[in-house]
Structure 1
Amino acid sequence: MMSDNRIVIREETPSDREAVKAVLFDAYGQYENTLSRERWEQYKENIEASAAGGPTKARLVAELDGEIVGSVFVFESSDTAYGYSGIDTPIIRLLAVSQKARGFGVATELIRASAKLSRGWGAQTLHLHTSDLMESAVRLYERLGFERAYDYDIQNGEILVKSYRLQLKEAALLQA
């Protein structure tokens, strides 16, 4: 059982990499039986490569009781996040919260920290992509004020990857 200690959000350090990878696989492992075997293998490879490093602008972790229970990667643009141009403001990817730490507000705090960083860099918006497969994540994003950005949707095989954006100037998430 986790206590009610506050969540600490901080920059990832190289010594955090294995813990972050474990959180990513724990969080996204719930989709293993939902995706085709081939797509799951591709997804796992993508997670592995992202956890190992890459062109992120920031890599944040969430600690609860001194244990890493969440992470998010912030990219400068769609070019650095996905290798295609179009979105020239920060994008968050691979937001993950370990299954045992869900319901404590970890994802909200990771998104809030990402939005604050993005605003500090002078960005007007923060983007993310998700799919209907991740229903609870979609509900969270919408509750936090993200709006659909249909112009940046991506078709990945049979899956529609939906784009969302948060207007940083007006975001209630950043007023607290």
Structure 2
Amino acid sequence: MTNRKVIIRDAEPSDTEAIRAVLEDAYAEYEQLMPKERWEAYKDNIAHSLTDANVKARLVAAEEGVILGSVYLYDTSDAAYGLPELNIHGPIMRLLAVARRARGRGIAAALVAGSIERSRAWGADILHLHTNDMMQTAVRLYERLGFERAEEKDIVKGDSVVKSYRIRLREVERSIGVKR
């Protein structure tokens, strides 16, 4: 049996539809957990992200040419969310997604490692992300990889809180495949 290797690389324009499919597949599990209006807005946000000029980098996880996961990097909270008041002037990781059929293989951790490498290459000291409690698997991954809560950067939307996490890039462990 051939040992297939997942490669993290920059997305190409020809990857857009495959990224859309991965995002729709990965986030579909949350449809039943959100009010209909919120879900529709979330889907619109995902669709907009595919062509959003504010995205600084789009990374994909590919195996034998098949896109299995993706993640976006923005360079400020204004670019990522239209929220300059969050005062984040460094990389923000958004919309980390792995196709459901490919989960459990370390692809999400590899995409995070790729995001960390890219953030370091840009000269950043901290990588931020935002998530919420319904995404418990993602929260556990981020905490296992060394992300810590950054409550002062939370986003409050009505009665829900989108929780902020950050990782200090100089303190990242080798365990996720990123060299210091």
Gaps of 5+ in 1: none
Aligned partner of residue 175 in structure 1, secondary structure = coil
Deviation string 1:46-103 (CA, Å, 9 cap, x unpaired) is: 0000012321111001012321010000001111101112101100100000000000
Distance in 2 between residues matched to 1:4 and 1:36, nearest whole Å: 42
Distance in 2, Cα, partners of 1:156 & 1:4: 45
Q: Determine whether 1:98 maps to 2:102.
A: no
Supply the AA of the counterpart residue of 2:9: R
Matching of residue 27 in structure 1 with residue 31 in structure 2: no
Aligned residue for 2:129, secondary structure, equals strand
TM-score (norm 1): 0.95
What does residue 12 of structure 1 align with?
Answer: 11
Separation (CA, whole Å) in 2 of partners of 1:10 and 1:112: 12
Query: Matched residues, percent identical?
Result: 52
Distance 1:119 1:158, change over 3 A: same
| Deviation per residue, 1:137-162 (Å, 9 max, x gap) | 00000000000001101111222100
Secondary structure, in 3 states, of the residue corresponding to 2:32?
coil
Deviations along 1:118-149, one digit per CA (max 9) or x if unpaired, are 01111000000000010000000000000000
RMSD: 1.2
For residues 6-155 of structure 1, the aligned pairs below 5 Å read 6-85=5-84, 86-155=87-156
| Residue 171 (structure 1) aligned with residue 172 (structure 2) | yes
Helix, strand or coil at the partner of 2:105: coil
| Aligned partner of residue 18 in structure 1, secondary structure | helix
Q: Which runs of 4+ in 1 moved over 4 A?
A: none
Secondary structure in 1 matching 2:171: coil
Counterpart CA distance in 2 for 1:4 and 1:130 is 33
Partner amino acid for 1:161?
Answer: V
Rounded to whole Å, the distance in 2 between the matches of 1:4 and 1:30 is 30
